[in-house]
Amino acid sequence: MAPGCEVLGRVRTGLARLEGSRWGLGSQIMWKTDCPASSHLVDSCLPQSLVQPAATKLVLLVLDGLGGLPREPGGPTELEAAETPNLDRLAAEGQVGLSQPVGLGITPGSGPGHLALFGYDPVASNIGRGALSALGLGLRLEAGDLGVRLNFCTLDDQGVVVDRRAGRIDTQINQALVARLNGIEVPGVELAFATESQHRAVLIMRGAYLSPAVQETDPQAVGVPPLEPEPLTATAQHTSAVLRLVTEAVRDCIGGESPANFVLMRGYAGLPELESLNSLYGLQAVCLATYPMYKGLARVAGMAVVDGLHSVDNQMTTLATVWDEHDYFFIHHKAPDARGEDGGFDAKAAAIEEMDRRVPDLMALGPDVLAVTGDHSTPSTLRQHSWHPVPCLFRAGSVLPDTVESFGERACGQGSLGVFPAQSIMPLMLAHGGRLQKFGA
Amino acid sequence: MAPGCEVLGRVRTGLARLEGSRWGLGSQIMWKTDCPASSHLVDSCLPQSLVQPAATKLVLLVLDGLGGLPREPGGPTELEAAETPNLDRLAAEGQVGLSQPVGLGITPGSGPGHLALFGYDPVASNIGRGALSALGLGLRLEAGDLGVRLNFCTLDDQGVVVDRRAGRIDTQINQALVARLNGIEVPGVELAFATESQHRAVLIMRGAYLSPAVQETDPQAVGVPPLEPEPLTATAQHTSAVLRLVTEAVRDCIGGESPANFVLMRGYAGLPELESLNSLYGLQAVCLATYPMYKGLARVAGMAVVDGLHSVDNQMTTLATVWDEHDYFFIHHKAPDARGEDGGFDAKAAAIEEMDRRVPDLMALGPDVLAVTGDHSTPSTLRQHSWHPVPCLFRAGSVLPDTVESFGERACGQGSLGVFPAQSIMPLMLAHGGRLQKFGA
């Protein structure tokens, strides 16, 4: 039994803990009998305590934002409309259901959506905005670092916020301002400013004793001055003092500019220190993703990350080259989510088809276990993430196929997996991979 | 984020806490992610933290005791036998499932059944018998009040209980006795006795420092004297002393009567201090119910209550008149439960049909989200509440219709919602109403 499991029966101490930079999965564990639906999901500690080695290859294929809605009443969803002969065959040969990333009615961001798929509790391991923005830019966050989401803003002569987004300045202006801000030095802490886009930027702070428990300076309104980065707990006094120095330096540095003459800070967050998939399950996990955000999330789970991938072709070609070195493969396909957010029904269907065409390449490698799903739904009619559960299929030698013959929302709603927690995908993959011993005698 | 969420991380201390008179939802809240079924059910604090305003109208239509069983093997249930063209159409256009009020195998009373539908944890917010009896009589309980369930009983000359129900005296005799008991005065506490029916009555106590942690005086057996209202905790000494004075006064008042010459006390309970639906979710909720119990339960959730309703006609006519002022409408139809408890299979089916005929009136108002379900099942073959999960349908623009074409127990068992916690109906309604932001970035 791994060390984390000794804490069964201890309870999580709550949000305050989520804000600390030094929490781990173990401290969130308690007896599952306090909860109404214990039949579906077991804590990562139970599978973890049962891990046994096996020479099996597990593949998690994520079609980001996979789930959708009909464009017109009675019509098909994007996935149902897409020509997906390969995924349909896998669904017919395998078992399907609808995976629920966080809970009924809850729309997940990319962070909770993926961490659930990797087997982590998506709420306990939620990543704050500053840290996630840093991941999205491909910036590395280490334990103890603090990410801060910045908006360039406009202050008037009295120091009052007149535009919280500085007129949505061009990204090029943002970059020029960030270059100057990167000259700021504050003793005892390393600072790195980075451009996101338009008025959006990120600050990464590295140093000892940094705490996210500081008041956000964005007043969320115009006509008032920015708030002060007051400490919200006694242990955040150092961070508060650092941030005051930073804001003064920002004022000195760009205070004479127009319209972007200050920054508003929010979403202070470090990365959660999650136990790695290797430590939890003995997996040699690798990520094949094209976007920085998902590579960052994979790093949070301790995966190796292949850099330099730009297309599904890249991903599939590379998969073959890293096949022997790893045993858990996270393949991330961004396009369905991006097209869904654009409101492109047909484009989303096409993005799904693009991956379907490469499924035979994947199957040719002979994965022992394949799970195909999304991190959340992104219906093109809604143009945003949604709360709808996500089609999911399992293909493995030990799967009991159900009666479903195709891969789609309604078909998966008839699958024998039912509606189930996305967090259970990992233990199911491990089980089908022969990587979990019996529990109890 | 509403104040209740500040207690995130505190944990429920168990049943003992449920017996206390001064507990609120906050103290029982913890992240459900500590719990395995987090994929299905999230604590009210997670949706609460994501609430955003939206000008949408949500309707919860409760057919009390909706779920049933076949009268003969192979036959239909009451709902399946009923002619419900309107509910069938909504089921075809919407998404269905079976809602589980408390848990598999657990038969809910009206209190937990409804509080789950309103989004509260039905176990943590359970209402004790004395308080629920008071609600059923339409009596108002305020914070700190204590309700006590009374049985008139017969004592012999030695003070031994010879009939715990005093021969089930007529309700009229009960009323005459209660009128005399209402002359009892005890310093420092207001007392109000009320007739329930036959030998059943209720005492409401109002005053400072009242505690339910007092021994029940009903010995649950004949041939022994009543028990004393001993304090079970140090803080209940005052209440114990008051109840001793009450029992002495009752003896003085009706000790010479026959057969009802004393009362046995049990079910000491105040109302839970639940955070209101307005505070939790920003809803302007209103209750349209005909029976006192359900109006009382709605008040516990902070709803406005329309008084003077006596029929489905009343309810539907009134719904239109209050439509503009509110955004969450709880419509309660009592008849299916009452007919089920009478053992009337056909009468229960007819009661369901009665509401079905008014569904077009409801839809004509254009609700953005409609959920139709029951608070529990009441099979007419069992003549009582049961543990069977309850048919539930959702109708909203963002619902993904499943393949089910009618509204019934077996049909809903094929629905894409699966069997899901009734407590999730509220977050699902909020999500479909555009009232929840994304969780996590």
Per-residue pLDDT of chain A (441 residues), as tens digits, is: 333 333 323 222 222 222 222 222 222 222 222 333 333 555 668 899 999 999 999 999 999 999 999 999 999 999 999 999 999 999 999 999 999 999 999 999 999 999 999 999 999 899 998 999 899 898 989 889 999 999 999 999 999 999 999 999 999 999 999 999 999 999 989 999 999 999 999 999 999 999 999 999 999 999 999 999 999 999 999 999 999 999 999 999 999 999 999 999 999 999 888 999 999 999 999 999 999 999 999 999 999 999 999 999 999 999 999 999 999 999 999 999 999 999 999 999 999 999 999 999 999 999 999 999 999 999 999 999 999 999 999 999 999 999 999 999 999 999 999 999 999 999 999 999 999 999 998
pLDDT of the residue at B33: 30
Tell me which residue in B50, B427, B439 faces A104 most closely, judged by beta carbons. Answer: B427
A166 to chain B nearest CA, in Å?
23
How many residues appear in chain B? 441
| CB-count burial class (<10 Å; 0-12, 13-18, 19+) for B324 | exposed
| Residues from chain B contacting residue A11 (CB–CB below 8 Å) | 11, 30, 34
Binary contact (B36, A34; C-beta < 8 A):
no
Tokens of B342: 């009478």
| Residues from chain A contacting residue B102 (CB–CB below 8 Å) | 36
| Residues from chain B contacting residue A28 (CB–CB below 8 Å) | 33-34
Within 13 A of B158's CA, how many CA atoms are on the CB side?
A: 7
Binary contact (A423, B38; C-beta < 8 A):
yes
pLDDT at B12 over 60: no
pLDDT of the residue at B390: 98
Name the residue among B328, B431, B315, B308 with its Cα closest to residue B42: B431
DSSP conformation class of A126: P
Q: For all residues of chain B together, what is the average pLDDT?
A: 90
> Measured in whole angstroms, how far is the alpha carbon of residue A422 from the centre of its chain?
13
Establish whether the linkage from the previous residue to A122 is cis, with ω within 30° of 0: no
C-beta neighbour count of B292 within 10 angstroms? 16
- B270 in contact with chain A, both atoms CB, cutoff 8 A: no
| CB-count burial class (<10 Å; 0-12, 13-18, 19+) for B160 | middle
Tell me which residue in B9, B41, B437 faces A15 most closely, judged by beta carbons. Answer: B9
Q: What are phi and psi of B386, to 5 degrees?
A: -140, 175
How much is the pTM?
A: 0.86
- B42 in contact with chain A, both atoms CB, cutoff 8 A: yes
B12 to chain A nearest CA, in Å?
9
pLDDT of the residue at B24: 24
Residues pairing with A286 in the sheet: A304, A329
Using CA atoms, how far apart are residues B386 and B377, in angstroms rounded to an integer?
A: 5
pLDDT of the residue at A45: 80
pLDDT of the residue at A140: 87
Confidence of residue B42 (pLDDT cuts 50, 70, 90): low
Name the residue among A237, A25, A266, A296 with its Cα closest to residue A128: A266
Residue with tokens 């973890």: A48
pLDDT at B9 over 60: no
pLDDT of the residue at B257: 92
pLDDT of the residue at A42: 58
Tokens of A8: 């069964």
DSSP conformation class of A25: G
Establish whether the linkage from the previous residue to B259 is cis, with ω within 30° of 0: yes
| Residues from chain A contacting residue B35 (CB–CB below 8 Å) | 30, 32, 34-38
Binary contact (A423, B32; C-beta < 8 A):
no
Nearest CA in chain A to B403: A410
DSSP conformation class of A36: T
Q: Which residues of B220-244 are buried (b: 16+ CB within 10 A; e: fewer)?
A: eeeeeebbebebbeeebebbbbbbb
pLDDT at B10 over 50: no
Binary contact (A11, B34; C-beta < 8 A):
yes
Using CA atoms, how far apart are residues B352 and A123, in angstroms rounded to an integer?
A: 40
Tokens of B391: 């048919």
Tell me which residue in B35, B427, B440 faces A105 most closely, judged by beta carbons. Answer: B427
Binary contact (A36, B34; C-beta < 8 A):
no
Confidence of residue B41 (pLDDT cuts 50, 70, 90): low
Counting one residue from chain A and one from chain B, the pairs whose CB atoms sit within 8 A come to 206
- Backbone Cα Rg of chain A: 23
| CB-count burial class (<10 Å; 0-12, 13-18, 19+) for A322 | middle
Binary contact (A28, B40; C-beta < 8 A):
no
| Residues from chain B contacting residue A45 (CB–CB below 8 Å) | none
CB A76 within 8 A of CB A348: no
Binary contact (A35, B31; C-beta < 8 A):
no
pLDDT above 90 coverage of chain B, percent:
86
Nearest CA in chain B to A421: B39
pLDDT of the residue at B44: 60
Q: Which residues of B407-440 are buried (b: 16+ CB within 10 A; e: fewer)?
A: bbbebbebbbbbbbbbbbbbbbbbbbbbbbebbb
Confidence of residue B1 (pLDDT cuts 50, 70, 90): very low
| Residues from chain B contacting residue A409 (CB–CB below 8 Å) | 400, 416
Please report the ipTM that was assigned to this predicted complex: 0.85
- B158 in contact with chain A, both atoms CB, cutoff 8 A: no
A382 to chain B nearest CA, in Å?
8
Nearest CA in chain B to A37: B37
Tell me which residue in A30, A40, A108 faces B40 most closely, judged by beta carbons. Answer: A40
